[in-house]
Structure 1
Amino acid sequence: MAEGGVTDLALDETQKELQECPICYTEYKDPRMLDCSHSFCLKCLQELRLTQNKDDKNIVCPLCRKETALTGAGVDMLPGGSKDVNQQEQTEGQGLKVMCQACDEENEAISRCRDCKHYLCQECLKAHNRLASLRAHKIVALTELNVESEEITEDIELKKVPKCCKHTDHDLCLYCDTCEVLICNECTNFDHRESLHSHISVDEAFSKCKQEVNESASKTEEYIKAFLSANPVSVDHSRYRLDMMLAKTYSQITLKAEKEITKIREKEKQLKKEARDIVIKRDMEFAYATIPEQTLSKVNEVMTTATYYEILESKKKMLRDLNEQVKVHKSLDIKHGKSFLGFKESEEDVQLGTLLLEEKWERDETFANVYGSGQLAAYSTTLAINKDDQLLILDNPAVKIFNKEYQLLHQFLPGKEAGVDGTPTCLAVDSSNLIADWLILVL
């Protein structure tokens, strides 16, 4: 075992990664540590949080994918993480000093977690070992962390011979090359008989294993080098960038949606205002149309209840009011159709539609089934629409007139009114709402 604690070589290999955030690859700024002991810049964790489910109370480590529970304050309340490895020259003969990376108390580190890649002081080592999720991590004392540490650790591990799980009194001293499992001497008499299985010593099995792993590791290293050469940007950085792009895309989609919603709301207000203005104007026309009746009613009341003298005194005013109401009534364009106001939806996306100011007759299967037991289709020549948008139906022998609510307004017998004894076969309405022509089948 080499003297002097951690060597310069070990520090050179880890110093860069310990001083840089694994997300932004720059020097740590206000680092915070997750439960898995991985540290990141506070700002990087805040941005990472935005890409993950905000409703979830946990944050997922981008390196090991382990979750860390968050309080109401979020990542801001996470403990401080790794900042750097302080290398300070001490008195001659004492070598180099490594500071703990898991706390801010500037305690000297006594060990290193190979999974977390953090140097730990005595107190942080105890805290590390108390966490169930970290118990499987490999902890190495700093005195063993040197060029020869791997071989020394291997020698120590080989001296700790475990017992066989089936034959608990026997050590696992052999390796079944056929089944690729450790066995004891008793196992060779039962499940791993020599006639059917190949046995080798643990040392030989370890040598073969080490050779195979080294060869496979070399191939993997070559693949990694080729991959890094073709992809200079690290996978972790690409994953981080992908998360950032997702957050940006979400933001762009939300912004565009809000703009479109604003446009739709503005169009909604515009259409409602137009509809309200139309109704106010038409309602005023309907209101004016009732004034002549009210005026006439008052005149009739005066004429029937007042004295001769009162009537004569009111004559000029009554005549003037009556004449004015006749003029007003003639100037008004009052139709039942003006009581209609509708809306037609647009078939285009992110569009509302337009207002409908006039009714248009369309085939209504409900009305067809109610009236004539669905036989209207067989008498299409017996239908007509007048200028008041009323429906005329020839229901032999009568002609019936309906409004848009399918209410019967009027009916008559065209043959009798014309002095002809026959059966009408079709309808024709002129611009004056008069039936201008119909054919009569003389019997």
Structure 2
Amino acid sequence: MAEAAAKTVWKISQGHLECPICCCLFKDPKMLDCLHSFCLKCLEEMMSKQKPGAEKITCPVCRRETQVPDGGLQSLSSSFFLSSLVDEVKQQEEVLGEASIPTATCDCGEGKEVIWRCLDCSDNFCQECRKAHGRFKSTKGHQIISLGDWQESKMPPAEHIKPITRMCTTHTDHPLCLYCDTCDTLICSMCAAFDHRSAEHNFLKIDDTIGSFRLDVDIILQKFEKCRQRFKSTENSIERARNRLQKKLAQARSDISAQEEAEIAKIRKKAKLLTKNVDKIGQERDSEYEKVLMHNRDQMERADQTIRAVKDLMSQADDFDLLELKPKVMHNLEFHKELNFKPANHGPSFIGVKCQDVVSDADLGEVCVSEKWQFKEVFGEECFGDVEFQGARGVACFRNGDIVVKDTELDRLSLISSTGQFKASVPQGADCHELEAPWGVAVTDDDLLFVTDKKKVKVFDIELQFVREFTPSVDDAEGLLESKLRGIAVDKQRVAVTDIGRGVISVHNLDGSLIASISNNMVDVDDDFAISNTDRLIFTNHGEERLLCVDFKGNALFNVMTLLNGEQARPSGVLCDDDGSIYVKVETDEYEGDVVQKYDSNGAFIATVAQGLYSALGIAFTPTGDVVVAGKISVKIFERV
């Protein structure tokens, strides 16, 4: 038992009671403005090494500066709670036989009984020495309490029988009983009657003040937690951008190599030069991301240091100490207003290569430093191919490049090849394997086509053969509105469905078993949505002109207005990339055509990546990363450049 207690005492002293400078138990600890404490002697040695006449001392932990008081380092605030804890550790060590038994007589050599304790010096005094201690200019402001009160104060807080009586430094025979909010200082009744009697002084009971103080600190600490969450979200976004950059760099090198092989004899040297250029840009951009990360981490580390110091202070100091330190604590907690997390800039995360035939001294290609999509081909328009659309709205793509198109006017689900040739359609009818009124379409990574059809979700294979079906909502439950399924989205493991009849979004395993059901009346007929690989649902609200995001519990993560040229614009189709980026189709007037905008995973606008879509509704990714757009009478494909 004794050995275990000794280990506990040593663990406490290591964690809280060692001076960061000398690594020994605190001796006369003094607190700097940053709330870090050090032995007075250690601070004096630090100060002696500075230039003569220096008015500030730098904290060796956080590097923040503290103005040295007129009375010198001795006048800095004393860490009474640390002194008390050090004395407690020493007392426990004495009980365990690890220290000599302290003398009960004063050190003055007169053999007089010790009856007083100086909290600033951590020394015991007899009555005569106590009077002498109060006469010296450097020590007359020290806090002195009776030895009995001090011994009681060293018990754990839960075992306190009565609070410590702290005496006023000005009126030494009067206890501190009030707090002057105007002067931010503890006062006694005599101070209140004479020194703080004017109308501008507002003093309160200590209990009332400490309660309000603790509440203010709790509120600010909660704000710090929100800062921490923003930091984490920004850091994740930056990491995803960096990962995307690496993928794009790899793809760029691959494109360069392909072109290099086609022009082997002429272009090998130019290919190396271009690769070097790509790598240089990639390294420069990655270096910028690293700088942003380090800046944000440094900001958070500084905030964490302040929080740790405040939390230690709030949990270990008594009420008197806290109120004496209130100005410094609140000043330090103002630090959260200075936190400035640099956001993730996703623009530089894109890098590609636009290759070209090389003749004479022409370059192999050029580095594309921003993401854009260019028109590639169109199906259905001007009788191109053998397909015709009247209301192409929903699209999805299989791994072989085949495209599924939902035509709301023809009420038809068609399969066309990557060259625009009609291949098959799902029959319409009352049979369970047929479709009655299909709406939303989505294809999984293993080529399963999910279709919303009135109250059911039906599943087909790559040849549009029926596989299975499931019902997202329990039908005909008393008091429930009629189910009306519309949008659908899938990822590698899940499928999500919007039910505009009942105002819910349900998330299922691919076999149809329910994972979560979210009440949400923001989704309408004209809206689309997607599943992010970070367990989020991103959807558009066409009528309210907003882009929204919720988690699988229905908690709103962001809700932003979609704008185009500074004006509100109506969103419809939405996609999520592997790196968490969000692509949204936004409507404009008929002359300019619709556009596709890119947002980061936190809903912040990045750039417009495609224009001139005209009456576009649904959008989907092809296996090669191109984008398929359903535009009523046509299906267009845009490739990234």
TM-score normalised over the length of structure 2: 0.19
TM-score normalised over the length of structure 1: 0.26
> Which structure carries more strand by proportion?
2
